[in-house]
Structure 1
Amino acid sequence: MQRRDFFGKVLAGLSTATLPLPVWADAGAPDFVTAGNKPDNSTWLVGLSVAADVRFQIPIPGRGHAAALHPTRPEAVAFARRPGRFAVIIDCTTGSEIARLDSPDGRHFYGHGAFSPDGALLFTTENDYDAPAGVLGIWDAADGYKRIGEITSGGIGPHEVLTLQDGGLVVANGGIQTHPDMGRAKLNLPTMQTNLTYLDTHGAITEQVALTGGMHQNSIRHIALDHRGNVVAALQWQGSPTRQVPLVLRHARGTAPSFLPHPDAQHLKHYAGSIATCIESGEIAVTGPKGSHVLFFNADGTPNGSARHGTAAGVARSPSGGLMITRDGGLLHRKNGIEKLIPVAGDWSWDNHLVPISST
């Protein structure tokens, strides 16, 4: 793809539309979207309200990971768990499939994607596994999600990608080399290199921050933006199992990353899952589904306690204030340090991410 202003695409025909466009209220007015499984191993895209009502449940062809939500219409991209070959674009008002993305030859998805601010383009994190290299696939949402190109992710193993406030992108390159012929085997742990890569609206890399030295095996996987627009990241340690390391970092553009240690980090069992920040207080929450714990940090990065929650998975800002966390039995709402479990009907198990309909 030419290095042009790829965020400048405008969806054709919007100015001449005569019928009202669908909105999230038409899909049952959910507050969050997540992937869930039922006891019969069926796999679903689920819309949840802050009151823990299931507003929609739409079958998807395999275990889901994260979802990308279109910024202007009730459309969700359900991504397969890595290494995945499918991503399904779903009209959440009808449950119908709009399009299905199949990874090109030599590529597989990593379970995440992000739309450009105007919704014209979708970016997907992918593995060019024979290179090996990470790429961002580019898909035209105005033309049936046709693939129109790709750009470098700036590293190996790109996992999550976010759209920044300036319209650019930030990518968490986890640094772990894999190949679908070898399942989920990690092929380069002794030499792996993980980084955050920032790209401008032309797809050019403007900044990279790599973890080096004794932290080069601390894989950056999931990211969020804090109350100041800086990146906070959840890490997954790939080094010695007897070593305890910080599993959260924060990065402000133009500075070195800062690790956020926590006295209870060992409860996560070297695996930080989802991460989010509270819009009112700046509190950071990091889930540990393998350790059934959640770590909390104050806005300044200092520890703010932890709590045990069975298979704590996704976390997101709540439109009712505070944070919402998916866990065994339903949703956990945390606000001003007070936690309340809100049961969700049905015996659901949740995947790692809870995506808010609105970022605020």
Structure 2
Amino acid sequence: MMQRRAFLATLAAACAPRLTWADVGSPAFLAAGKLGQTFHLHALSATGESLFQIPLPGRGHAAAAHPTRAEAVAFARRPGTFAMVIDCATGAVTHRLTPPPELQFNGHGAFSADGTLLMTSEVMADTSQGRIGLWDTRAYTRLTDWPSHGIGPHEIRLRPDGTLAVANGGIQTDPVDRTKLNIPTMRPNLSLLTPDGTLLDQMSLPDLPQNSIRHLALMGDTIAFAMQWEGDLAEPVPQLGLWQPGTAPVLCTPAPEEAFTMQGYAGSVAATDSRLLVTSPKGGAAMIFGSDGTNIATHRRADLCGAATHAGGFLLTDGLGAIWAADDDGLTRLGAGDTAWDNHLVSLGTTA
């Protein structure tokens, strides 16, 4: 009887009409935020206006947007045990995902190009060994999980060729209080998985083993990766790199006068066809680089973190409630409010 009910529920979910992003006002971005003591997921317009907001049970981190239907998955700040599937037409939570007991979500996820699968960044609670969870999006049932081929995977990005880029941060943490347990021996990497989860290629930085690879952006065939330095900051350390699989990585070095601006911490990265932008809430700055890794500009604003592409440039959010447009020439404030924006801004630029 239960198997029959599960089948009928899956069939009903598959056959139900699904609204597109255009049906809910064509939002351009998703962002988590805090207002007072409450947490929400916001849909933002191309100019940063909040079109609607949906309550979350706790602090959000990143979100994943379904490629066609008006549906988003909001992830708890890592390590977390909830990911909420939200119908953005009604605001209803249609599914609440929970990883297997030995696993924790780690803040990020990505849909397959056709939207039939959701992939989630996860860690083994006791060891921080990485897994990629796979979910069938018809009724959000869990199918299986793959090794991430590293410790502490964080952001994952699906490339146009169907391969999955995984930022394995390399840090083992206590499952309760997030104490970092292996800083002297950490070995982050950037792994590339085939559509069936096989390791295709992998990049590491043996000369900078304490530069935790955390966040990713795509620039054609090139993967931009943002890092957080876990060692002593006696000398400047690059927080942005570029990797084209099959070649050696290129590290993006700021101008000498800006060498310590990011204070060893990159919060988000975004890319256009010709520009890369990396934010540092710790340093209160956003840095723009060319596609060859040349530092073009540095713009300052306290607690900048969220970043996404916007009208040939970038849209940024900060923890003080402001939303900014950014280009080579500077920052332009688009709006401000009482919502303290969290770390990430998710673009819906490819949705229908």
| TM-score between both structures, scaled by the size of structure 2 | 0.92
Q: Is the Cα contact below 8 Å between 1:87 and 1:102 reproduced in 2? A: yes
CA deviation after TM superposition for structure 1 residue 300, in Å: 1.7
Within 1, Cα distance between the matches of 2:166 and 2:119? 11
Contact 1:29–1:55 (CA under 8 A) maintained in structure 2: no
Measured against aligned partners, the alpha-carbon deviations of 1:258-298 in whole angstroms (never above 9, x if no partner) come to 1111132412221101001124xx11110001121111112
2:97 to 94, 101, 119: 101
Q: Quote the Cα distance in structure 1 between the aligned partners of 2:94 and 2:38.
A: 21
Letter paired with 1:184 = R
Residues 132 and 112 (structure 1), Cα distance of their counterparts in 2 relative to 1, 3 Å cut: closer
Query: Is it true that 1:302 corresponds to 2:294 in the alignment?
Result: yes
Give the conservation status (yes or no) of the 8 Å contact 1:27–1:55: no
- What residue is the counterpart of 2:3 in the other structure? none
> Quick one: distance in 1 between partners of 2:109 and 2:82?
12
- CA shift at 1:28, angstroms? 2.7
Note closer, same or farther for the CA distance 1:152–1:18 as it changes in structure 2 (3 Å cut): closer
Tell me if the contact between 2:128 and 2:171 (Cα under 8 Å) persists in the aligned partners.
no
1:322 aligns to 2:344 (yes or no): no
Match of 2:343 among 336, 345, 352: 352
Q: Which structure 2 residues correspond to residues 254-273 of structure 1 after superposition, within 5 A?
A: 254-263=246-255, 264-273=258-267
Aligned CA distance change for structure 1 residues 359 and 290 (closer, same or farther; 3 Å): farther
Match of 1:277 in 2: 271
Judge conservation of contact 1:28–1:56 (CA < 8 Å) in 2.
Answer: no
When the two chains are superposed, the root-mean-square deviation of aligned CA atoms in Å is 1.9
Please report how far the alpha carbon of residue 13 of structure 1 lies from its aligned counterpart in structure 2 after TM superposition.
8.9
Which residue of 320, 333, 337 corresponds with 1:341? Answer: 333
Q: Which amino acid aligns with 1:333?
A: A
* Pairwise CA distance, 1:132: 4.4
Aligned to 1:88: 84
How many residue pairs end up in the alignment? 339
Letter in 1 for 2:271: T
* 1:187 maps to 2:187: no
Query: CA separation of 1:56/1:212 partners in 2, compared to 1, >3 Å: closer, same or farther?
Result: same
Q: Which of the numbers 187, 212, 237 marks the counterpart of 1:219? A: 212
Alignment of 1:63-212 (within 5 A): 63-142=59-138, 144-181=139-176, 183-212=177-206
Matched residue SS, 1:256: coil
- 1:52 Cα offset (Å): 2.4
Letter in 2 for 1:314: G
CA distance in 2, matches of 1:18, 1:65: 29
Structure-1 residue corresponding to 2:7? none
Instruction: Please tell me whether the aligned partners of residues 62 and 75 of structure 2 are also in contact (alpha carbons under 8 angstroms).
Output: yes
Give a deviation string over 1:308-360, Cα, whole Å, max 9, x none.
11211111111x3311111234221124535311114x301111111111149
Partner SS, residue 332 of structure 2: strand
Aligned match of 2:221 in 225, 229, 236? Answer: 229
Q: Which residue of the partner structure matches residue 240 of structure 2?
A: 248
1:33 to 26, 30, 35: 30
TM-score using structure 1 length: 0.90
Q: Hey, what's the Cα distance between the residues in 2 that align with 1:132 and 1:206?
A: 22
SS of the residue aligned with 1:323?
A: strand
**One-letter code aligned to 1:158:** P
**Offset from partner CA, 1:12-45 (integer Å, 9 cap, x none):** 799x9695x311133232111010111x221000
Instruction: Judge conservation of contact 2:299–2:331 (CA < 8 Å) in 1.
Output: no
Q: Percent identity?
A: 44
- Please report how far the alpha carbon of residue 151 of structure 1 lies from its aligned counterpart in structure 2 after TM superposition: 0.3
Asked whether the equivalents of residues 265 and 295 of structure 1 are also in contact (C-alpha less than 8 Å), the reply is: no
Gapped runs of 5+ residues in structure 2?
1-9
Equivalent residue, structure 2, for 1:46: 42
Normalized per residue, the structure richer in strand is 2
Structure 1: runs of 5 or more not aligned:
1-10
Task: Report the AA paired with residue 141 of structure 1.
Answer: T
| SS of equivalent to 2:22 | helix
